[in-house]
Chain A
């Protein structure tokens, strides 16, 4: 998710906020930095903050998360258990109510440019008054196209088209105009029309929440002094994820809380160093997962999706594995896996495992891993890594920390050779991940590594040398000299005094946003998205959020008949004390909760006639594919991966009945049901290696994810943002 300039990693400034809605954000339990956010929320927002007495926390989540437990602890907060995948209806419904009832910050939204913003005492302004053409592709009206001159945007001032930079006061907000036969509407009007496409009653029916909830919450939200609505991956990891995220950001824009004290904040830009990489190679060509790539084929539309609008670095991993198997858009020769365990973590991981087992699809595979993880055990070569914390490096932080911070990471188990600065592990064959990558780069003869790799006289033979050089430039200067403050302090930290956190403006206080651009324009309308086409339909995408639940790659909704046969919805979440794939083999952590269960609501338990501890069987619309030729190799080994597989697409689960899960869900937490990392017996040569059945305890939901009904070999993915549909797969559950 990267809706410039907001994205995940923008949170609430808890201390000064008095009304917080968290949507699909497992705050106090997950997200980063979990401990920091928890402390800010529990202590600063609820106890010591200036508005602590009236602070209200609304948790919108199908599961009664720990945050919901804390929100309702003293009877003030609220849990809104909406149905998975209905976020778009909830958020656009809120927007609709706010616009229809004039509860937005009107003066703020009419500001057309920086000059007027400054004059009126604002640090940001929005695109709400900019004109957008209603014929496709729906781009902003430029000064040139309006016959006015050089300008990216045009606004209406009392009905008269004006280049945005020339407007000297407020511009028309809810307006439209026809120029040369083409109709143009302001972003505000387009948004208002979009939000009005459904009634609030329809929204509440889709979300399956009591009638009147959206209006009530929108009313409370806009009456609060400093309201914020924040998210984490919940709303975003869905096929409507991009638009859900956009709608949530727009809600914050409507109440003018972006970058504000007590608002929706980006925190700071971290301290940065640098290593010169002259003549460095850059990745080129088309990515196998087709992220960021534009379809340019011979046919008018493609047979597989292309994620041209995708905007972050990570990539569309499920699409990678299905593409690799199909050789689309080309065959790969080698695969290097690092810091990732897709054979376990990918939804619908049968495709991942089959790809790794298929010599034609993945002829040569390597993995850098600290354990014999699921993915690693299926690779040809294993390069043993240290633990991810046992290395030289560094890390930034996220809001709500508003001052500039950088933590230096240093190994604590192994040592650094005083002369060569090589990392010396306690086990002879381990290296840190960075060291392995540098060794590989040197072996491949890549420039910018090895002798003089960082410029004349700067050798980059190991990770110490890399980070020492990195910490000599830009915001740093000390290198890794153990006598200097950077290493002694364990990082660089700005004094978190109030003067370093907030600055005062005539319209109210803003967070300082160190190291970043303070004065900025906030885009509601995503022109770039509106100019991209869905490569499989040839249709333009939309620049504004859409009322949608689950859609396939052709942007069609799922066939409603499917819910007749599969009435349950898959749901998953993360335990506080586990990472997804890196901690279950720590037996201390495993002992906190020795196994997980499939959690269902008491209403469903009554219907199925089951109680906690009973067993049920579950299948999804695509789990029977396991029996087909598509998963030949996987099928052979399935009892090794999933001993709870019963055949014909059915899996066996033990259930726990709890009111913490809304009715209709089948909810299984992550981290359990491991088949790698020592969960099963494994050997090096003839020698049995450390393993423990307790690592394998519990259940894993990933093989039950539904595939895209059009593509059939991959999970459902957001055609715009590239995110996986993480919740809501229809399931059939039966008592056994």
Chain B
């Protein structure tokens, strides 16, 4: 699955569910919805009452590509990746 695709393809999901044995759960964060507002960082601080400087949930911004020449169409991507501690 490429990182630029929006959804997990149906067959990947179906194959994963069809596997025998105990299920391992994962947290699926739909990155297309994340706009990098950092509200989850604040919500986590409020909920867990973490001291200043300690965050269980940070949001990183990843910049891909380079844009230097305005006469060419830019090919830049920025991804916002919320990194919850999963607790």
Contacts and interface: CB of A to CB of B under 8 A. Distances in A.
Given A46-B32, A75-B4, A660 B38 contact: no
Interface in B30-82: 31-33, 35-39, 41-42, 45, 52-53, 55, 63, 65-74, 76-80
B76 A659 contact: yes
A664 B6 CA distance: 33
Interface stretch (A547-555, A556-564, A586-594): A586-594
A410 interface: no
A658 to B, nearest CB: 6
A81 interface: yes
Given A64-B78, A660-B78, A70 B35 contact: yes
A603 B32 contact: no
A660 B55 contact: no
B33 A660 contact: no
Contact of A28 (B35, B41, B77): B35
A69 B79 contact: yes
A73 interface: yes
User: Which of under 10, 10 to 19, 20 to 34, or 35 or more describes the interface residues of B?
Assistant: 20 to 34
Nearest to A661: B67
Nearest to A79: B74
Given A29-B35, A38-B35, A602-B66, A69 B77 contact: yes
Contact of A658 (B5, B63, B70): B63
Nearest to B50: A588
Nearest to A575: B38
Nearest to B75: A72
Contacts of A587: 52
Tell me the interface secondary structure of chain B in the complex. Answer: loop
B28 to A, nearest CB: 15
Contacts of B5: 74
B76 A660 contact: yes
Q: Which of A64, A73, A208, A601 has the most CB of B within 10 A?
A: A73
Nearest to A606: B68
Interface string B1-16: 0001110000000000
A601 B67 contact: yes
Given A69-B77, A660-B78, A588 B70 contact: no
Contacts of A46: 32
A138 B19 CA distance: 76
Nearest to B5: A74
Q: Which of B4, B5, B36, B63 has the most CB of A within 10 A?
A: B36
Interface string A60-96: 0000101011101111001101010000000000000
A210 B74 CA distance: 10
Contacts of B77: 69, 72-73
Nearest to B41: A592
A72 B76 contact: yes
A43 B35 CA distance: 12
Given A46-B32, A662-B67, A69 B37 contact: no
A591 B55 contact: yes
B68 A602 contact: yes
Nearest to A64: B76
A73 B31 CA distance: 9
Given A210-B71, A663-B70, A66 B32 contact: no
Contact of B74 (A42, A64, A66, A211): A64
Contacts of B4: 73-75
B70 A659 contact: no
Contacts of B69: 603, 663
Contacts of B45: 588
A38 B72 CA distance: 29
Contacts of A689: none
Contact of B67 (A81, A210, A588): A81
Contacts of B37: 28-29, 34-35, 38, 576-577
A530 interface: no
A68 B65 CA distance: 14
A72 B76 CA distance: 8
A441 interface: no
Contact of B53 (A34, A591, A664): A591
Contact of B33 (A43, A81, A601, A658): A43
Given A74-B6, A210-B73, A588-B52, A42 B67 contact: no
Contacts of B32: 42, 46, 70, 73-74
Contacts of B35: 28-29, 38, 42, 66, 69-70, 576
Contacts of B65: 659
A66 B42 contact: no
Given A69-B77, A658-B63, A588 B42 contact: yes
A209 interface: yes
Nearest to B62: A69
Contact of B38 (A74, A592, A663): A592
Q: Which of B52, B65, B76, B80 has the most CB of A within 10 A?
A: B76
A208 B41 CA distance: 38
Contact of A42 (B33, B52, B72, B78): B33
A34 B32 CA distance: 17
A576 B38 contact: yes
Interface string A659-700: 110111000000000000000000000000000000000000
Contacts of A42: 32-33, 35
A68 B36 CA distance: 12
B36 A576 contact: yes
A208 B77 CA distance: 21
B66 A210 contact: no
Contact of A66 (B39, B55, B70, B80): B80
Nearest to A73: B32
Nearest to B68: A603
Contacts of B72: 210
Contact of B68 (A78, A211, A663): A663
B10 to A, nearest CB: 16
Contacts of A29: 35-37
A548 B65 CA distance: 33
A68 B63 CA distance: 12
A72 B45 CA distance: 31
Contact of B63 (A208, A660, A663): A660
Given A576-B37, A658-B63, A69 B78 contact: yes
Contact of A591 (B52, B63, B68, B78): B52
B36 A69 contact: yes
Interface string A465-493: 00000000000000000000000000000
Contact of A81 (B42, B66, B74): B74
Nearest to A586: B42
Contacts of A601: 67-68
Contacts of B52: 587-588, 591
Contact of B70 (A35, A64, A70, A81): A81
16 contacts: A28-B35, A64-B74, A64-B76, A69-B79, A72-B77, A74-B4, A79-B76, A81-B74, A208-B71, A209-B70, A577-B42, A587-B52, A591-B55, A592-B38, A658-B63, A659-B67
Given A29-B35, A588-B42, A660-B76, 8 more contacts: A28-B35, A43-B33, A69-B36, A73-B4, A73-B32, A73-B77, A577-B42, A662-B67
Closest 3 CB pairs of A and B: A69-B78, A603-B68, A659-B67
